[in-house]
Structure 1
Amino acid sequence: MPQITPNLTEDDGALTRACEDALIAIFERYDVDKDGALSNAELDAFAKDTNGDVFDEDARAEITEFLDLDFKGDLTLKGFLQMYNLQTSSEPEETWKDLQKHGYDTNLKLVASRSEDRDEKPKPKAK
């Protein structure tokens, strides 16, 4: 019997609770300073881990123009979810790829940390 994967969006186009919860957890992982927004450096780290490179100038311009930013111009959680809602409505397979990159299975359960984290060698203990 084939496994049925959950939808990422509701019938009205809103992200499902499970998808939103996974995206919030990913956002919180990259919001290193815990100020509720992704600075350029935090956004770069997210983009590199997700896509292998930082966002280009066009993508940054779209983020700045169309998504929710804080008073410093940093991407808020609301903006991050807006970004994924837009992507998911047109290319759900890209959102699935992103979620899997960040350790989520097809049931939107966190099963592993990023592959880069898994591949790191344990650091020797200080004597």
Structure 2
Amino acid sequence: MPLVIPPTLIDEDGGLTQECEDALVAIFERYDVDKDGALSNAELDAFAKDTNGDVFDEDTRNEITEFLDLNSKGYLTLKGFLQMYNLQTSSEPEETWKDLQKHGYDTQLKLVASRNEDSEDKANNKGSQSKA
């Protein structure tokens, strides 16, 4: 079986590649439930739980509010979300890969399954298994 080398997430200028940015924008849009262009505290909590298993701790929240782009309500904007991932990816690309995979992306940055599809599949499988 040939070795698959995933694409780089950072371009030669230190920014996110277009493919990486597209995936992150899609993830952001999934959590921006009210479609106001920013993640409220509740939306950010939902993202953090799905990505890391728990909400961000106080130190992380303080870093977000201090260093990343927020709207007038203090909510993380898309620009801030991309800034957050640019910082993480520059120092720990493997963490960004883990996050992308948790949100259904394969090593070629193609969406192969969403969390909702995974949940529905599990529910459907349980139902069909109990009928057998």
TM-score of the two chains, using structure 1 as the length reference:
0.92
The correspondence of residues 22-61 of structure 1 with structure 2, limited to 5 A, is 22-61=23-62
Q: Which residue of 2 aligns with 1:12?
A: 13
Q: Which runs of 4+ in 1 moved over 4 A?
A: none
> What is the root-mean-square deviation of aligned Cα atoms in Å?
1.4
How far off is 1:117 after superposition?
4.5
Distance across 1 between alignment mates of 2:117 and 2:4: 28
Q: Which amino acid is the alignment partner of residue 119 of structure 1?
A: S
Larger relative helix fraction? 2
Q: Does 1:118 align with 2:118?
A: yes
Secondary structure, in 3 states, of the residue corresponding to 1:15?
coil
Distance across 1 between alignment mates of 2:117 and 2:22: 21
Distance across 2 between alignment mates of 1:10 and 1:80: 18
How far off is 1:11 after superposition?
1.3
Q: Which amino acid is the alignment partner of residue 14 of structure 2?
A: G
Q: Which residue of 2 aligns with 1:66?
A: 67
Q: Which residue of 1 aligns with 2:3?
A: 2
For structure 1, the residue ranges without an aligned partner over 5 or more in a row are none
Distance across 1 between alignment mates of 2:23 and 2:63: 23
What is the count of residue pairs matched by the alignment? Answer: 122
TM-score of the two chains, using structure 2 as the length reference:
0.89
The correspondence of residues 73-92 of structure 1 with structure 2, limited to 5 A, is 73-92=74-93
- Larger of the two Rg values belongs to structure: 2
Secondary structure, in 3 states, of the residue corresponding to 1:70?
coil
